[in-house]
Amino acid sequence: MTLLFQPPRPDHVPADRIVDFDFFHIPPGMTDPAEIWHDLRRSDVPRIFYTPRNGGHWVFLDYADIVEGYRNHEIFSTYQTPIPPIEPFPVMQPQGVDPPDHNVFRRLLAPMFTPTAVRGMVEELEKRAKALIGGFADKGECDFIQDFAARYPTGTFLYLFGLSEDRLGEFLDLAGTFFRSTDPAARAQNVVDIYAVLESLFREKERNPGNDIASAIVTARDADGNQHPWQDILNCGFLLFVAGLDTVTNTMAYIWRYLATTPAARRHFRDRLDDPDAFLRAIEELMRINAVSNLFRRVTHDCTFRGVALRKNDRVILPNTVANRDPTVFENPDMIDLDRKVNTHVTFGVGPHRCVGSHLAKREVMVSLAEWLRRIPDFELVPDSGETRAFGGSVMGFESLKLRWDV
């Protein structure tokens, strides 16, 4: 296959900026996949370096550069960015479209995910968290990923799209293949399957609109009073499907893993169940420390950035977990301070493509944790559950997380 956005041979990269780094590779025995990034951060590699792995790409390590990568869309595009390159890759609306064109769908989605809009979903989020936790609380153990963290955000997606919870299994399968399969044929078929589901879903919502986000997207009108292009509607559905599942699942996995091993942190949250400001501050800190996403950009034209020559179509990774521990921005960056007052973490990105669903994601975590602690105030990792495997990549996380508690 000929790649439309084939990166050039890196003859523009000086030898002293080349580092052999594979962001998918988690060495055996490493239990936290983010440690590969923190090992880099603590090493003396250049703060902007190039690795030939995964098709070749740059890595930025300073907060200021990562933030600039997000903000400066004239150099760093979100269009066709996968690392390693996959083409054609679905153009997610609005994520895969550069400003100002991205603003059409951004303006459509943003009002549906404001803090006020998300507050209107809290009752439903609480009900679903209670039901899921109630399903295993009396057993005294669970696989947190399989039994909660993967199911919960997928159920939220069904709710947002006005779909019945009966379809959870079908959507869990679609998401499981999308996020975990390494078989190229299965992956290609999976994208076709997801689009087929979205097609029939949006057609149904077009005929019978309800009070849900899918209906709002399909019935929205552009400045001229027309429906948005059908492919863009599907691409927006695709974004909502892929963006809010694995990220939330693994953020929760990180947080519950930390709480399972840190009694003082459990107590901190338990003592603040009725103090929303303090609860939010503590969640914000765990969002900073447990940033699971490493996002991609593609260079739009040959240029020099911070004195480094970049070529058109070079890929760049912006590792949020690294930015979030930059000592020039955060006091005691490696310390988890659940009362941290100033916390400009970039877990949801910054700039024009900042995560539009951040308030929903945070609310899902807050509601889940509050319901969990009310029912299961203390819990721990199942000792020697052995092959709790960690994975790297664009979203880092764990394949399973076995927890136990007294009943």
Partner 1 sequence: MKVHVNLSLCQGHARCEEICPEVFATDTVEGKCLILKDIVPDDLLEKARLVVRNCPEGALRLSRDKGAAAEGETA
Q: Which residue, 118 or 149, has its beta carbon nearer to partner 1? A: 118
- What SS3 class is residue 380? strand
By the 8 A CB rule, do 48 and 65 touch? yes
For residue 107, state whether it binds partner 1 (rule: CB under 8 A): yes
Q: Which residue, 23 or 348, has its beta carbon nearer to partner 1? A: 348
Furthest C-alpha separation in the chain: 62
For residue 275, state whether it binds partner 1 (rule: CB under 8 A): no
For residue 344, state whether it binds partner 1 (rule: CB under 8 A): yes
Q: Which residue, 189 or 344, has its beta carbon nearer to partner 1? A: 344
Structure tokens at 295: 């996002």
Shortest Å distance, C-beta 340 to partner 1: 10
Query: Among residues 58, 63, 76, 113, which is the contact residue for partner 1, using CB under 8 A?
Result: 113
For residue 226, state whether it binds partner 1 (rule: CB under 8 A): no
Alpha carbon distance 92, 69 (integer Å): 19
Query: For helices 358-375 and 276-289, what crossing angle results, to 10°?
Result: 110
Query: For helices 358-375 and 122-134, what crossing angle results, to 10°?
Result: 40
For residue 385, state whether it binds partner 1 (rule: CB under 8 A): no
For residue 146, state whether it binds partner 1 (rule: CB under 8 A): no
Q: Which residue, 264 or 342, has its beta carbon nearer to partner 1? A: 342
By the 8 A CB rule, do 346 and 289 touch? no
Q: Which residue, 149 or 213, has its beta carbon nearer to partner 1? A: 213
By the 8 A CB rule, do 198 and 241 touch? yes
With residue 151 as reference, give the H or E element that holds it.
helix 151-160
Shortest Å distance, C-beta 115 to partner 1: 5
Query: Among residues 167, 268, 354, 375, which is the contact residue for partner 1, using CB under 8 A?
Result: 354
Q: Which residue, 63 or 179, has its beta carbon nearer to partner 1? A: 63
Instruction: Provide the edge-to-edge strand list for the sheet that holds 57-60.
Output: 48-51, 57-60, 315-319, 294-299, 76-77
Shortest Å distance, C-beta 100 to partner 1: 12
Question: Binding segment for partner 1 among 12-20, 145-153, 350-358, 368-376 (CB under 8 A)?
Answer: 350-358
List b or e across 71-82, with b for residues whose CB sees 16 or more CB atoms inside 10 angstroms.
bebebbbbbbbe
For residue 342, state whether it binds partner 1 (rule: CB under 8 A): yes
Which residues, other chains included, contact 188 with Cβ-Cβ below 8 Å and sequence gap of 6+?
none
Query: Among residues 86, 191, 280, 382, which is the contact residue for partner 1, using CB under 8 A?
Result: 280
With CA atoms as reference, report the closest residue to 152 among 179, 121, 128, 182.
128
CA distances (Å), origin 382, targets 15, 55, 58, 183: 46, 38, 39, 31
Size of the site for partner 1 (CB under 8 A): 24
For residue 318, state whether it binds partner 1 (rule: CB under 8 A): no
Shortest Å distance, C-beta 149 to partner 1: 23
Shortest Å distance, C-beta 57 to partner 1: 25
Q: Which residue, 130 or 354, has its beta carbon nearer to partner 1? A: 354
For residue 352, state whether it binds partner 1 (rule: CB under 8 A): yes
With CA atoms as reference, report the closest residue to 6 among 70, 60, 69, 80.
80
Contact residues toward partner 1 (CB under 8 A) are 106-107, 110-111, 113-116, 277, 280, 341-346, 348, 350-352, 354, 356, 358-359
